Amino acid sequence: MAAKITKDMTFYEALQLDPAVAKVLDQLGLDCGECLGATSESIAQGTKAHSLDVEEVLTALNAIFDQ
């Protein structure tokens, strides 16, 4: 299955896809629902800023859609 969430999407765009996205981000230590940068910061930028591996984050997020 093709990834629904990509590293170039903003956190806001990803959060609009499914309510479970917020839960996964929270589990990863990213409180994007409360961050003003969520509307303009890409997932690649945000994961780098928080010293997270973008591919691991994308795998966790896209697992939502594999269920």
> Which three-class secondary structure state does DSSP give residue 35?
coil
| Beta bridge mates, 10 | 42
Give the tens place of pLDDT for each residue, 32-61.
777 777 888 999 999 999 999 999 999 999
pLDDT in tens, 11-30: 999 999 999 999 999 999 88
- Domain 11-66: which CATH number of 1.10.10.10, 3.30.70.270, 3.40.718.10, 1.10.3910.10: 1.10.3910.10
Strands (E), the chain: none
Closest CA to 32 of 5, 55, 12, 3: 12
Q: What is the pTM of this model?
A: 0.87
Q: Where are the domains of the chain?
A: 11-66
> End-to-end alpha-carbon separation of the chain, Å?
11
